[in-house]
Amino acid sequence: MLDLVSSNLTSIAFDNPSITASHHKWGDGHVTLLKAYDDGTASGMEFLSLGDGGGVSTDLGHAANFQFNVAQFQAGTVPNQSQLFTIRGWPPGTTTNRPPPPVLNLRLAQNTSGTGGVDCFADFTQWGVSNVIVQLWNGTALVAQAAEVPATLASTLVTLSGFPGTVSCPGIGVVSLTDKNPIVVLAGLNCSTGCTGTELRIIAELPTTATPPVAFTGLDCFISEDMDNLIYGLQTTPACSPVPLNVNATSAGINMSWQGDGFRLQGAESPSGPWYDLGVSSPVTLPANDALRVFRLLCD
């Protein structure tokens, strides 16, 4: 709970506000109102955009896959509704001199040509990927498919009947869109009269020169002005494999090291906690007289 009392102030600025909900820290998009729900099936973050490009950001840890649900509360009269999901990844290669995290972009926007529906775009160019395979599934049955489809934010992959309610990446290079209602493709996939299924999959066609990430690390969601969205039910699966934590205590200090990416070190005075984050880079050295004497590696 936050109580704020002021007088004779025309405005108050908050620098980089954030809210932690469902074990995830959410930051704002500078023109966004945030409201956290941290209980029940709708545990997540509601955000109202006061201008184009407002939204939220959160860390995914070091995830092999993830999924989340999206609900919309704005009135149907809000024009040109769009959602842009920017998904950050952990670059392949060494842990030193690491390049910026490669991102994939998924955009869902109301069709403005008069035909109605929601246009779907995807962009994997930072992975070195130009084309994708687009598939519509009905359960375990493949309904329609198109290969070597150019994938950019300027080229529509398919047009859907509405915004999907669930977005997931079940693996590196795969985006899945589902909903509690059927997924209807109005245009694309050679569906001249529409195709109906339960899942739309977008699969990156990875050339030998591609550099896809080895794990997912972050999610940004940007929406158009006056949209009011709720992201909830965010679930991730860690990509890390357990590794030993090497601890060497000397008169000069406590040195800890480990091998592998995506871990963060925590320490506590006793196994019951409280636990404190000590760093994400190996090695970590603490003073010999430090009160922390119990340590663990997390990948979440």
Residues 229 and 251 in one domain: no
Residues 178 and 142 in one domain: yes
E strand or H helix at 7, and its extent? none
The per-residue pLDDT for range 63-107, each reduced to its tens digit, is 999 999 999 988 888 889 999 999 999 888 755 667 788 999 999
The domain containing residue 280 runs over which residues?
246-298
Residues 141 and 280 in one domain: no
The per-residue pLDDT for range 174-205, each reduced to its tens digit, is 999 999 999 999 998 987 667 999 999 999 99
Residues 56 and 165 in one domain: yes
Residues 254 and 131 in one domain: no
- Would you say residue 25 lies in a domain? yes
The domain total for the chain is 2
Phi, psi of 14 (to 5 degrees): -110, 125
Residues 205 and 288 in one domain: no
Residues 202 and 175 in one domain: yes
- Would you say residue 277 lies in a domain? yes
The per-residue pLDDT for range 7-56, each reduced to its tens digit, is 555 544 444 454 454 455 665 555 557 676 666 556 788 888 888 888 88
Note the pLDDT of residue 15: 46
Phi, psi of 125 (to 5 degrees): -60, -30
Residue 100 DSSP code = P
